[in-house]
Amino acid sequence: MGVGAVRRRRIRNRNTEPMNLPNFITLARLAAVPFLVWLILNGALEVAFWVFLAAAVSDALDGIIAKQFDMETVFGAFIDPIADKALLVASYITLGHEGLLPMWLVILVVFRDIVIIGGALVFQTVTQSLTMQPLMISKVNTVMQLLLALGVLFIEGYGIEDGPAVAVMGYIVAVTTLWSGTVYVVTWSRMAAEMENAGDGET
């Protein structure tokens, strides 16, 4: 049994109630995504900046509350990354549509998430043992993506001269996006191969 499976069992044993404060915060972040998209499309970038900032802060807040007050649940472990992806993908697509982010970066970010989601579905189908355990590089990538979107909304919303800052951050996001996507694919491929070999050894 893997570490992820042990963690999932521990979470289930600790708290079987899906609707607690951390999960409510996560769902509120998810619900804010359409409003954020509407704000960006209508040019209300100052307000969009604060909505995005509140959503980004809530991403850290729900995890802290869940861990500190023993409120971790299986539902929360699955819905939290979904809310994160919805926030980032929707924001990046909308910012790209408005010409505020380069389309090559938007395509890269979205493609990486499609690969990860597709890989997760395949892994679950083949092994029936998927656990939602984000890797460290994935956490770094999420932070970089959040900072870039926040920076763009702040700079554009308040008319600040950015110089090369956004371009540099864009390249950093590109590197962490490629890195994290590759690590996920390699990790899942290795785990699937190990489980297949273990199954062959038992027969």
| Between residues 1 and 169, the one the model is more confident about | 169
Q: For the segment 92-129, what is each residue's pLDDT rounded down to a tens digit? A: 999 999 999 999 999 999 999 888 877 767 666 666 66
pLDDT at residue 28 greater than cutoff 70: yes
Q: What is the pLDDT of residue 128?
A: 61
Rounded distance between C-alpha atoms, residue 112 and residue 18, angstroms = 29
- Reported as a pLDDT band with limits 50, 70 and 90, residue 1 is very low
The closest of 124, 31, 22, 126 to 74, measured between CA atoms, is: 22
What average pLDDT does the segment 18-26 reach?
Answer: 86
Name the residue among 150, 154, 152, 130 with its Cα closest to residue 142.
150
In the chain, where are the structural domains located?
A: 3-202
In one-letter notation, the amino acid at residue 61 is L
pLDDT at residue 76 in the model: 84
The CATH number of the domain covering residues in 3-202: 1.20.120.1760
Query: Which is nearest to 31 in space by CA: 75, 71, 77, 90?
Result: 90
Structure tokens at 22: 């951390």
